[in-house]
Amino acid sequence: MEKINMVDEEKQLAGIIRICEQTSRGVWKRIDENRELLEFLYQHAPDLFERFGFIRSWIQSNDDFFTELAEAVGVDNIFDWEKYGRGVCPRQYPRPWPEPKECHTPASSLRRSEQVGEQ
């Protein structure tokens, strides 16, 4: 049996945490953009889900993976309303999981502040 090198494991974990916190603005940003993509598709290509219903489950699987990864490594979401209050971010971040009925207004008709989710 191979002896476990704790220093290597600590470096690996630190690397994973760094990636989750910083790479492409972090895992919470990835979760938010994943949900934003689903919102966009609901608004601009709703028939896509009628033809290819599995797309939602692909996006859901990514959401589940990223959310569990963030929680497992303890990456803090500094924009969490429940933890830090609403003053840190103008909207819930990451945005809630979108449902088709919530995404009925075309993005082109929204003001810029509404497009980025400010309420």
> pTM value?
0.71
> Taking CA 25 as the corner, what is the angle to CA 11 and CA 99, rounded to the nearest 5 degrees?
120
pLDDT in tens, 57-87: 999 999 999 999 999 999 888 777 777 777 7
pLDDT at residue 84, as a whole number: 74
Delimit the domains of the chain by residue range: 26-115
Count the neighbouring beta carbons within 10 Å of the beta carbon of residue 75.
Answer: 19
Q: 106: which residues sit within 8 A by CB, 6+ positions away?
A: 43, 44
pLDDT values of the chain reduced to their tens digit, one per residue, 119 residues: 566 677 788 999 999 999 999 888 889 999 999 999 999 999 999 999 999 989 999 999 999 999 999 999 998 887 777 777 777 677 778 999 998 875 544 444 333 334 444 43
